[in-house]
Amino acid sequence: MNLKNFIPAVLAILGIQDFHKEEGRKVLTAQEKQKLASAGFPAKFADDFEAALNEPETSASNDEADRRVAALTAVLGQTTAQLTTANQELAALKAKSNTDAEQLAAKEATIKELNAKVVTLSELAEPDNTANASTGAASGQTFDIANEQQLGGMPGVMFALDRPYNQRARAAIAATRGMSVMVAAASSVDYSTLQDDLGAFYRTPWRERIQSFLVKLPTIETIFPLESGYQDLATLVNIWLGEFSQADNTIGSNFDNVTKGNYDFGTETLRMFSVMFAHKFQNLAQLEKTWIGSLNREGSDPLKWSFIEYLLAETAKKLHNEREMRRVNGVRKNPNPNQPGRAMEAADGFYEFIRKKVDGHIDNTPDGGTTGKVVYQIKPFALPRITPANIGEVLYLGTSMIPDHIRSTGNVVCYIPAPLVPWYHKYNEAKYGLNQDYKANIMHVKEYPNVRLVPVPNADNHHRIVWTLDGNIKCYEQKAGEMLDFRIEQQDWSLKVWANWKESIWAESVGYKYTNPAEMDGSRQLIWCNDYDRPDDFFVEGQPDANPSAVLHNSIVTGYNKQVKEIDDIEGAKVGEVVNIKCGPDGDNGVTIKKAGKFDLISEEWTPKTGDVISLMKRADGKFIEIGRRTAAASAYMFPNDATAPSVADATVFVTGENTKATAITDLADAVTGTVYTIHGNGSDNASTIANGGNFSLTKAMTLKTGAIIQLVKVDDGKFYEVSRAEAPND
């Protein structure tokens, strides 16, 4: 609906000749919006109508004239109805003996105003039969190069000549006509203005839009506040105080002999990681035929500015999403010259920051050097591995280990990976659900109500729980908005776009820096955590056609390779730590490890099938020792023999038991909604079966003989649905 058709009616209702202007835009005042509300128009109409007032003008047509008359008629009917209601209310007031003169006067004034509106609207609603009908084609407007307010005289804020990119466009067009217009060289874009101007694209008809379904992730700055203006190696100073008080010992003592207490000043050297965006737009003219509608406004010009501006707006959303993921999961890897790097390797994220403070790191000094010593700042709590069945106990135990004088301040928060929050809610429901005072979905540690639970978004399969003081951990940047300060440079028929910025996530106070972890007792730290992060049975995805990288995690599943990839090294593997390599796709797209080079100590060449795992450990000389190998079925947990409702609480991959009789699986106990469970077959004579019915919705019944595999997922209705299957080789 074209809300501009309502302009005459709204002017009549408001009793004004024209709309107010603020900064070049037509607006409705608060009083005018109130008048529209009194006339029966919803608040959304007022907002949409105000936005429509500033849209570019379009050519009129007979259809639009008809719609205008229909709109006016509708408003006329609405105003007439209000007039009828007001007359009825006036009659009721006159019938009352106690009605005062002011009420009657006010109602009569309202009726007079409504009568005037009806007269005005009646006159406006008469069609103008003498107006010339438009053909519906273009209005014939010419490009006015002399216009110094709007580019070519085109209406709309997006064509205003206070925009640097419109100034350059005008100069380029003028040059083709032998005119010279002086403008600043193309070096940067007023991105905030550009972002606002791109709103015009979203007012184009649906069929003319280029659709993007990219949604911006919620920012982690809501839980880790953002601070700007920090350089790399900035010093954050903290202080650790010893014990001071004692019994009064003034009688018979020398002052110097009874003094006690100490002040230990510590520093956190803030690391700011340099990050960049670099892209090159080229050969855009070749894409012209595939473009849609209003985004193709530059004719045969090889630089399609409107399209580039649109793409930069979408790129901004993508950069935001990558930074949000990196702030949580990132692990900095120094780049190789002339090779593009990965987004997650541009800076350390929250969990990598904590890991380094636990496992040790080379301490930096404010002058850019290092102490050369490995320091440890967080002594982790030895807690059980987290499962849906024990998560409440783990949170209770960990919180109880925090020194009480700190925990009781009410300032301690517990950062928990967001995927673990449903586990905690279900744990509490199962344990306390029958209690009358039970409250569902609490967001604090149940036994410690003053310790708030804060979910960390985008946390993947992290299991690390972190306790600290609220506000201790922050996001840092060097210059506000620097990530979106795009630099643009034209080179022949291509366009280079780039941005450079610095980012970090860090804590103001972590803990005293120990060089010997055995000396740590947890008393001089302000961050606490459990003693592991990602579980070993969770595998991060490796890069296709590349050696596995253990930088992010020590369990890696190989990617889909263009051809068989021979693994000759494991990047980032640490001496003395076990690395698990799982085969993803196999066959022509799989991997192999030959008994040679850094792997000449393994028992034999590894040519795996999908799901097979090899465990390796790096020696000090760089070679890898084979710890063991497992096939997909051998690495799975085994169901008890003859089990008809086995528990799946402790894993996601299982193999059926060695049954002694015919066994039909009718349920999977302790399953978690949304989790995919993989079940491998075992045996043949008494192989477990699953029927297509009851708790299972399958494509058909399944017999889990050796070599058969089925994947199932539990949904909210309590049933298990088949995700995929592979039948036994002989079936």
pLDDT at 390: 94
Instruction: Please report whether residue 160 resides in a domain.
Output: no
**412-434 burial by CB neighbour count: b if 16+ within 10 A, else e?**
bbbbbbebbbebbbbbbeeeeee
pLDDT at 77: 58
Residue pLDDT, tens place only, 230-286 = 888 888 777 767 788 989 988 999 998 989 887 777 778 888 999 999 988 776 555
Give percent of the chain with pLDDT exceeding 70: 79
Average pLDDT, the chain: 81
**Pairing state between β 273-281 and 494-507:** antiparallel
Q: Which helix (H) or strand (E) holds 91?
A: helix 62-95
pLDDT at 105: 79
On the CB side of 306, how many CA atoms lie within 13 Å of its CA?
18
Residues 623 and 649 in one domain: no
Residues 518 and 398 in one domain: yes
Residues 390 and 524 in one domain: yes
Residues 518 and 420 in one domain: yes
Q: Are 414 and 449 in contact (CB under 8 A)?
A: no
Give percent of the chain with pLDDT exceeding 90: 38
Q: What phi, psi does 194 have (nearest 5°)?
A: -60, -40
Exposed/middle/buried for 690, CB within 10 Å: 0-12, 13-18, 19+?
buried
Residues 603 and 520 in one domain: no
Render 641-658 in DSSP notation, one character per residue: TT-SS-B-SS-SEEE---
Print the domain residue range for 551.
540-630
Total domains present in the chain: 4
pLDDT at 457: 94
Instruction: Please report whether residue 56 resides in a domain.
Output: yes
Instruction: Please report whether residue 354 resides in a domain.
Output: no
pTM of the entire predicted model: 0.57
For the cut 80, the answer to whether the pLDDT of residue 36 exceeds it is: no
For the chain, how big is the Rg over CA atoms in Å?
35
Q: Are 133 and 61 in contact (CB under 8 A)?
A: yes
For the cut 90, the answer to whether the pLDDT of residue 31 exceeds it is: no
pLDDT at 69: 57
Domain boundary among 124, 149, 183: 124
- Average pLDDT score over residue span 179-196: 55
Residues 668 and 598 in one domain: no
Neighbours of 348 (CB within 10 A): 24
pLDDT at 618: 95
| More confidently predicted of 94 and 135 | 94
**Residue where the block lists tokens 């529209």:** 36
Residues 608 and 621 in one domain: yes
pLDDT at 140: 40
CA dist., res. 457 & res. 218, Å (int): 8
Domain boundary among 581, 606, 630: 630
pLDDT band, very low/low/confident/very high, at 138 (cuts 50, 70, 90): very low
Among 276, 287, 269, which residue's Cα sits nearest to residue 230? 269
For the cut 80, the answer to whether the pLDDT of residue 154 exceeds it is: no
Instruction: Please report whether residue 117 resides in a domain.
Output: yes
- Average pLDDT score over residue span 191-198: 49
pLDDT band, very low/low/confident/very high, at 192 (cuts 50, 70, 90): very low
Instruction: Please report whether residue 440 resides in a domain.
Output: yes
For the cut 50, the answer to whether the pLDDT of residue 120 exceeds it is: yes
Beta strand ranges found along 244-314 (DSSP E): 263-270, 273-281
User: Out of 156-165, 322-331, 501-510, which region has the weakest mean confidence (pLDDT)?
Assistant: 156-165
Instruction: Please report whether residue 82 resides in a domain.
Output: yes
For the cut 90, the answer to whether the pLDDT of residue 548 exceeds it is: yes
pLDDT at 433: 85
Residues 648 and 513 in one domain: no
Residue partners of 148: CB distance under 8 A and separation at least 6: 161
Residue partners of 617: CB distance under 8 A and separation at least 6: 576, 577, 578, 579, 624, 625, 627
pLDDT band, very low/low/confident/very high, at 294 (cuts 50, 70, 90): very low
| More confidently predicted of 512 and 157 | 512
Instruction: Please report whether residue 310 resides in a domain.
Output: no
**Residue where the block lists tokens 């060695």:** 658
**Residues forming beta bridges with residue 65, ordered by sequence position:** none
Residues 594 and 573 in one domain: yes
Residues 427 and 525 in one domain: yes
Map 120-159 to HEC letters.
Answer: HHHHHCCCCCCCCCCCCCCCCCCCCCCCCCEHHHCCCHHH
For the cut 90, the answer to whether the pLDDT of residue 448 exceeds it is: yes
For the cut 50, the answer to whether the pLDDT of residue 291 exceeds it is: no
Instruction: Please report whether residue 436 resides in a domain.
Output: yes
CA dist., res. 491 & res. 495, Å (int): 6
pLDDT at 130: 39
CA dist., res. 495 & res. 279, Å (int): 8
For the cut 90, the answer to whether the pLDDT of residue 1 exceeds it is: no
CA dist., res. 621 & res. 575, Å (int): 9
Three-point CA angle 175, 179, 182, nearest 5°: 80
CA dist., res. 306 & res. 156, Å (int): 14
Residues 666 and 729 in one domain: yes
Residues 557 and 681 in one domain: no
Domain boundary among 575, 596, 630: 630
Residue pLDDT, tens place only, 636-688 = 788 999 999 999 987 888 889 889 999 999 999 999 888 889 998 888 889 99
